[in-house]
Amino acid sequence: MTDPLSGPRSERRAPAVGFVSLGCPKALVDSERIITELRTRGYQIAPDYQGADLVVVNTCGFIDAAIDESLQAIGEALAHHGRVLVTGCLGANPQRILARHPQVLGITGPQAYAQVLAAVEAHLPRPHERCSTLVPAQGLRLTPPHYAYLKISEGCNNRCSFCIIPQLRGPLRSRSLDEVMREAEALVASGVRELLVISQDSGAYGRDLRYRPVLWREQRHESRFIALARALGTLGVWVRLHYVYPYPHIDEVIALMREPGVLPYLDIPFQHASPPVLRRMRRPAQAEDTLRRIQAWRRERPELVLRSSFIVGFPGESEAEFAELLAWLDEAQLDRVGCFRYSAVEGAAANTIAPAVPEQIKDERYERFMQKAAAISRARLQARVGRRCRVLIDTVQKRRALGRSSGEAPEIDGVVRVQSHPTHPTLRPGDLCEVEITAADSYDLSARALGLSGAATERRLSQAR
């Protein structure tokens, strides 16, 4: 490996840091923050191991599969490069990392931004020049230019029995509304068309601040979830709400939903539907009558798309409790659903709450669950055939583009395959396009382009000016 700081000054280049980012969108936002600060301090970000003088691996430590993936990624970085720092959720358990990879240079935990930067500087001295002018106002991002994750809080005050996130990331710490809005405005000014609101528990936003009022655009706003959603809805871009538990005040968000603005889409991780299982899971808002509320939301916004995730094979889950979950799913008719087989997380209370469900039964329940979820998804997507909607284009290959309507979040939901019309302009990533849905399968939609939306045409014209 070459030493970037050796040789005549004219031949020196800025030291380069390679970055491997694993885990959920919240970890991705942490990576973006670290990369932005490294760049501001004058480091280059290397696109591969060969170009890096040091590699940082941002890990996930949530479930065993994620821990394995993180340990493998550290091993790969060590094998390819040798000089590796580890950060992120798995870093909260350094013994587990050192037991397999004692040669890592240093380990820090989640959100330990200052410590990661100090560790980088200790092993790769910082260049003399800061480069803040090279870093855009919205920071450096790892998502495509037209969408961005917006993290509104850190940590979590809940104590779900299967989860160690509160141990890893600490209690709820909301960002004040004006700070979140300034970041959102900078993202929109940079060309972002869709803001994906994330946190561990978005509906709890502001509780730790006691809903402190702040000024944004010379108006007083309380740091509350509903006020934040309302303010974000004025920015003229799509706003997609993730990790929203069904607290009673979420009913108010439904009234805000309209395009462009807060999308008729809610990502609510229900995890189960049987009351005894939810009690054993210690889920927030588990006592709410969610079926009745889902029906009320849909009466108010028939186009509302609900996404959720579930765990099957939770300790002590009986066949009757699982059947209750399937029956609930039949009633709830959720549009987009993910499912996980329960996997014991070291340090989680659930491991000792009730006897483990045998792996074979978990597999069998997973299959039954997914069959039902796929049938519901197919029927709900089929009902959209013939309708018109707007699609945000993500990627383009020749005359076919892949995008998403308000009903599909990136990475986790299906896509809309858009066939562009020979007489229409070629679609580009970031375009908002009017389409007619022509076909559906279990998870994805097909559509034909009708034309660019007015906003997209205007944006192209302003780019051309």
Q: Which is nearer to ligand SF4, 25 or 430 (CB)?
A: 25
Q: Which is nearer to ligand SF4, 121 or 208 (CB)?
A: 208
Q: Which is nearer to ligand SF4, 308 or 406 (CB)?
A: 308
Site for ligand SF4 contains 309 (CB under 6 A)? no
The end-to-end CA distance of the chain, in Å, is 46
DSSP 336-349: EEEEEE----TT-G
Q: Which is nearer to ligand SF4, 348 or 418 (CB)?
A: 348
**CB of residue 200 to ligand SF4, shortest distance in Å:** 4
**CB of residue 323 to ligand SF4, shortest distance in Å:** 24
Q: Do you find a cis peptide bond into 260, omega within 30 degrees of 0? A: yes
Q: Which is nearer to ligand SF4, 161 or 420 (CB)?
A: 161
**CB of residue 159 to ligand SF4, shortest distance in Å:** 6
Q: Which is nearer to ligand SF4, 119 or 156 (CB)?
A: 156
Contact 103, 16 (CB under 8 A): no
Which of helix, strand or coil describes residue 16? strand
**CB of residue 287 to ligand SF4, shortest distance in Å:** 15
Q: What is the CA radius of gyration of the chain?
A: 23
**CB of residue 281 to ligand SF4, shortest distance in Å:** 8
Q: Which is nearer to ligand SF4, 166 or 170 (CB)?
A: 166
**CB of residue 266 to ligand SF4, shortest distance in Å:** 15
Shortest CA distance to 307 belongs to which of 414, 385, 387, 384? 414
Site map 154..183 versus ligand SF4, x via CB under 6 A: --x-xxx--x-xx-----------------
Chain positions 233 to 292 lying near ligand SF4, rule: CB under 6 A, are 284
Contact 238, 197 (CB under 8 A): no
> Could you tell me whether strands 219-222 and 213-216 are parallel, antiparallel, or unpaired per DSSP bridges?
antiparallel
How far is the CA of 133 from the CAs of 137, 168, 188, 306, in angstroms?
Answer: 9, 34, 19, 42
Q: Which is nearer to ligand SF4, 243 or 366 (CB)?
A: 243
- Residues 340 and 362: their CA atoms lie apart, in Å, by 9
Site map 361..400 versus ligand SF4, x via CB under 6 A: ----------------------------------------
Token pair, residue 171, equals 């209690």
With 0-12 / 13-18 / 19 or more C-beta atoms within 10 angstroms meaning exposed / middle / buried, residue 138 is: buried
Chain positions 182 to 201 lying near ligand SF4, rule: CB under 6 A, are 200-201
Shortest CA distance to 453 belongs to which of 233, 440, 463, 430? 430
Token pair, residue 25, equals 């969108």
How many other CB atoms sit within 10 Å of the CB of residue 397? 7
**CB of residue 269 to ligand SF4, shortest distance in Å:** 7
Task: Please choose, out of 9-17, 151-159, 215-223, 438-446, the segment that lies near ligand SF4 by the rule CB under 6 A.
Answer: 151-159
**CB of residue 163 to ligand SF4, shortest distance in Å:** 3
Number of residues in contact with ligand SF4, rule: CB under 6 A?
10
**CB of residue 160 to ligand SF4, shortest distance in Å:** 3
Shortest CA distance to 91 belongs to which of 121, 76, 113? 113
- Residues 314 and 51: their CA atoms lie apart, in Å, by 45
Q: Which is nearer to ligand SF4, 58 or 200 (CB)?
A: 200
58 backbone dihedrals φ, ψ, rounded to 5°: -95, 115
Instruction: Enumerate binding residues for ligand SF4 (CB under 6 A).
Output: 156, 158-160, 163, 165-166, 200-201, 284
